[in-house]
Amino acid sequence: MKIELLPSTIEGGKVVNKQHLSCFVVDDEVAIDAGSLSFACSKEQKENIRDVILTHAHIDHIAGLPLFIDDLFSDLETPVRVHAAEEVIELLREHIFNWNIYPDFAELENEFGPVLEYRAFDPGLEFEVGGIRVKAIPVNHKVPSYGFVISRAGVTIALTGDTAEMVEFWAEIDEIKDLAALFVECAFPNRLRDLAEVSHHLTPGALGRELKLFTRPDCPVYAINLKPAYKEITEKEICELGFENLSVLEVGTPYEF
């Protein structure tokens, strides 16, 4: 399985290894979140991706979705399928695809048919998306949010999305003995602990406590969703935790598992 965090931060006209937005692409064909989907995916990915799975509806996770559908509008022979929890779909319908912020693509068709289809998933029940098996697990964010366990051809990875401290997710993934990789958020540095608490995110200190609930020292753990304004200090504090299997995910680098 190949997974890549698409670039989303540009400084001085150049793409840099920071992360404003969240969009992971699995095997060049399924997107997990759509923050930078419209402008950072490759031509091949743009042609292949018709399934987008959303962790939650915050703008840094969905910003690239409206323009992705817009760009592809006349070419889509099948609709872009947005897989999300029912309450996340309602937020998209009400606040994004409402003709005020952007057109309601679910109402529109091109010459082949619909261009946007919402598919609600049931948390806790496995579902299939383009040959990939996915299970959504509730996490602890300010809005309804889900982490995912993703499997294909005997390889399983897990991704938290945005979250603060949680119990159910750790209990669930700790049972997966052959987990190939874990992607876990760590948004803020330790000095912004209060902001992390109120916005339901993790700091390196909190991440260190959370990882004690994950008893798989042989499984690589990658920190994701570091706020770009504090990336250097957050990364330093993550390194200082001293977990040998923990590192910060490189943006724009495909990882194979």
CB of 61 to Zn ion, least distance (A): 6
3-state secondary structure of 23: coil
Tell me how far CA of residue 27 lies from CA of 1, 45, 94, 97, 130, in angstroms: 6, 9, 31, 28, 10
CB of 44 to Zn ion, least distance (A): 29
Q: Pick between residue 152 and residue 227 the one whose CB is nearest to Zn ion.
A: 227
Tell me how far CA of residue 102 lies from CA of 39, 59, 70, 74, 86, in angstroms: 17, 13, 10, 17, 20
Q: Pick between residue 101 and residue 108 the one whose CB is nearest to Zn ion.
A: 101
Distance between CA atoms of residues 196 and 36, nearest Å: 23
Contacts of residues 8-14 at CB distance under 8 Å and 24 or more positions apart, as own/partner, are: 8/35, 8/36, 8/40, 8/251, 9/228, 9/251
Q: Pick between residue 61 and residue 135 the one whose CB is nearest to Zn ion.
A: 61
CB of 141 to Zn ion, least distance (A): 5
Q: Pick between residue 151 and residue 160 the one whose CB is nearest to Zn ion.
A: 160
Pairing of strands 146-152, 132-138: antiparallel
Instruction: Name which of residues 36 to 75 contact Zn ion (CB under 5 A).
Output: 58
CB of 224 to Zn ion, least distance (A): 12
Q: Pick between residue 63 and residue 173 the one whose CB is nearest to Zn ion.
A: 63
185 binds Zn ion (CB under 5 A): no
Dmax (CA) of the chain: 56
CB of 54 to Zn ion, least distance (A): 11
Question: Mask 148-177, x = binds Zn ion (CB under 5 A)?
Answer: --------------x---------------
Question: Mask 103-142, x = binds Zn ion (CB under 5 A)?
Answer: ----------------------------------------
* DSSP category for residue 228: G
Residues in contact with Zn ion, counted by CB under 5 A, come to a total of 2
Query: Which residues make up the interface to Zn ion (CB under 5 A)?
Result: 58, 162
